[in-house]
Amino acid sequence: MSEHTIVVLSAGLGVPSSSRLLADQLARSAAAGFQTAGIPVQLKTFELREYAVDIANNMVAGYAAPRLQEMIDTVAAADALIAVTPVFSASYSGLFKSFFDVIDKDALAGKPVLLGATGGSARHSLALEFAIRPLFSYLRARTVPTSVFAAPEDWGAGDGGTNLVRRSDRAAAELVALAGQVPDAGQGRGGIESLSFEEILARVGH
């Protein structure tokens, strides 16, 4: 079986950051899941903060610096994506959103994506379903049903840490299953037919 490439994106701002810690945990779970399924996997991890200036210049100038373009191409070519952002003001970070603003709108079409987020309180976990998942729906990615949020109490050796690993493993198993699906003939990468808004309305009318 051919090797799968999984790109891991962390939009954490600090060094170290809880977002990077969660991204690493999700990556470990995914690697173990693919190994169990007998699928060779290569992980490629990127810290978006290291590309912050290039991303800002891209938004202003309209073109990506070679270093940023290489990373964008890697994301587009990946078999699956793990994307983690800190939550600020009940939504994804500006850096996280800016990166997905500068990539091609079709780059993630049909791509399996596991979503993660971190925040100072478990109350911020709703941002995954009301802000972050809709962003990837707009980009026509195939997000796994289980998203993973990590609050401060989820880190450590107690029940919180155990529960985080359990949720991470469950989400990773869903990512493995989704990445192993074969697209239907005549449809997009994810077996999802892309329709314009007018075509959707026409079908509803019938």
Q: What per-residue confidence (pLDDT) applies to 159?
A: 63
Per-residue tokens: 118: 């971190």
What's the CATH number where 66 sits? 3.40.50.360
Q: What per-residue confidence (pLDDT) applies to 1?
A: 63
Domains identified in the chain, total number: 1
**Residue for token pair 């925040």:** 119
Query: Which pTM was predicted?
Result: 0.86
Q: Could you read off the pLDDT tens digit of each residue along the chain, which spans 206 residues?
A: 688 999 999 999 988 899 999 999 999 999 999 999 999 999 999 999 999 999 999 999 999 999 999 999 999 999 999 999 999 988 999 999 999 999 999 999 999 999 999 998 888 899 999 999 999 999 999 999 999 999 998 887 666 568 899 999 999 999 999 998 744 433 343 333 444 444 444 544 44
Q: What per-residue confidence (pLDDT) applies to 160?
A: 57
The answer to whether 145 touches 173, Cβ cutoff 8 Å, is no
Long-range contact set of residues 40-43: C-beta below 8 Å, sequence gap at least 24: 40/1, 40/2, 40/3, 40/4, 41/3, 41/4, 41/5, 41/6, 42/3, 42/4, 42/5, 42/6, 43/6, 43/8
CA distances from 90 to 24, 66, 140, 206 (A): 23, 33, 22, 39
Q: What per-residue confidence (pLDDT) applies to 157?
A: 60
- Helix/strand/coil (H, E, C) string of 13-72? CCCCCHHHHHHHHHHHHHHHHHHHCCCCEEEEEEEHHHHHHHHHHHHHHCCCCHHHHHHH
Q: What per-residue confidence (pLDDT) applies to 149?
A: 96
**Identity of the amino acid at 198:** E
**Dihedrals phi, psi of 4, to nearest 5 degrees:** -100, 140
Q: What per-residue confidence (pLDDT) applies to 162?
A: 82
Q: Rounded distance, CA 175 to CA 180, Å?
A: 8
Q: What per-residue confidence (pLDDT) applies to 122?
A: 83
Domain extent, residue 131, equals 4-205
- For the chain, percent of residues with pLDDT exceeding 70: 85
Q: Rounded distance, CA 143 to CA 106, Å?
A: 15
